[in-house]
Structure 1
């Protein structure tokens, strides 16, 4: 088993059911493994976990952060196969209750990207990177040359 991988990302949220509904509207599938304290959502090759913000801070033995939204020095990203797909998912995120931070546009590094914040201020980048190859499941494969 490889150590360099991410299998689950946990986000601390203010309202578990609101956040679960937001991510379900974006296509994540709720898994029955959760309970009243945690929701697990299946994505392509990764699980997104939603946990109460105060409870997550307590579990990590840290104080809960200040007011939201704020930049936390972390973004999550979904790489997509083109500009139209990036625009489509961005619109879907905003319709589901996300906040537009930076509308998708051509960017200095030669791709196309935008940012939205989920209902708890977690920052997501949606990007089309013409320099990255994607496999048949829509996952990045940095071992392959991109197809123009």
Structure 2
């Protein structure tokens, strides 16, 4: 069962601030979302080797073509308002027929983060995706 996606979907439905985003290029769709890691159930965090913390965020990303999950090479960087950059290291997660990628990032203070992602389908040109999101460490 795709438990992490169920948890993420629950968060997305209950919190419009963390709404899933989608980028489309040709036949490809990239679905992505960023949220505070403290929202993960402890079992989910442990199963996917994520740090469940009020000062950590998680970004999830999946690539789809014709409605089916596709493998990709994913890299990225985030930049805070002070201009500090943090590289993002994505890990592939396979659950049943699902493929998705996870990365964690620090949340040290209220900030607006700019995420710059490169998504390279194995059979196509890379896609560049950039988005901003305000983040808040939980007290």
Fold conserved between structures, TM > 0.5: no
* TM-score normalized by the length of structure 1: 0.26
Larger radius of gyration: 1
Normalising to structure 2: TM-score of the pair? 0.27
- More strand per residue: 2
